[in-house]
Amino acid sequence: MPERFNQDVFDRYEPVVLRGQVREWPAVAAANAGRDAMAHYIAGFDTGQQVDLMVGQAAIEGRFFYSDDLRGFNFRRLPAAITVLLGELLRLAAETRPPALYAGAAAAAECLPGWTDANPIGLPLGGTTPRVWIGNATHISTHFDTSPNLACVVAGERRFLLFPPDQIANLYVGPIDATMAGQPTSMVDPYAPDLDRFPRFAEAMRHARVAVLRPGDAIFMPALWWHNIRSFSPLNVLVNYWWDTETKASPMGALAYALLAIRDLPPGERAAWRGWFDHYIFADDAAHVADHLPDTFRGVLGSPTPARDGRLRGFLKNALSG
């Protein structure tokens, strides 16, 4: 499997469920032994470093989202040590309507040193950093990641509802500059959709994929695939791996600049600029559009190199200062 991962999973640009991928992890064995054993196992790695904890009242029923007036969110953020969070989750486990608690994206190397060596993934994931997500029964709104994502379920059951990127118009996306965790989210609750307000969502559901994962299972989600995640147990643990994109420029930043520079132009000009984008960016042979020019004369149209990237950044800096 490791030697075939890139060809059979990564390069397909489709979600792939990997049943039992991490079932041999000691962490999964602890989860199978019960909530107390799981909490004790994680606490054994904890350095006491505080993580970002999302806390919502019982009334939100685990769905982290915007507030009713859309001026904020229906949860608050607090710093908390993982061991403190685990103790609170165990205390709340018997309640029928507990508050929603969720700590996510905690780098294992910093918060739980030793976890990665004890629970190796065994796949060619490059420079990915394992990140730990811990909470109770929660509902994470439909969103996407800008990097490929491998998510491994350690404790509890999770239901993944996925939508292809081409369903963006049917998902009724919220603001791109006021988000809960960095990426825009769909405004539709897929488990209670208001089809009078969001009629095209019915079409999105026709293209939806569903995967239910249990401890030991994993799912690969390509970049820009939308996913909605529900957790059902009083103590849920997931570890994910995002491919490193820190050296890349931001496509979302490019979109924001296009909103500023292109979207509100007259229709004829917008159509003309679409031709430029199709030619230089989206055409199958876009990487070769400057082949008719000598290498030393291609400027920002040249092949990716540190020098080319530096020229592009300078070109953008001048454009943004105008």
Spatial separation of the C-alpha atoms in residues 157 and 155, rounded to whole Å: 7
Spatial separation of the C-alpha atoms in residues 133 and 38, rounded to whole Å: 13
Spatial separation of the C-alpha atoms in residues 161 and 228, rounded to whole Å: 5
> What's residue 296's pLDDT?
87
| Beta strand pairing call for 139-143 and 63-64 | parallel
Hey, what domains does the chain have and what are their CATH numbers? 2-242 (2.60.120.10), 251-320 (no CATH)
> What's residue 318's pLDDT?
87
Spatial separation of the C-alpha atoms in residues 247 and 250, rounded to whole Å: 9
Per-run averaged pLDDT (10 residues), the chain, 322 residues: 84 96 98 98 96 97 96 96 97 96 94 96 88 97 95 98 98 94 95 98 98 98 98 97 75 91 96 95 92 90 89 86 72
pTM here is 0.93
> What's residue 128's pLDDT?
87
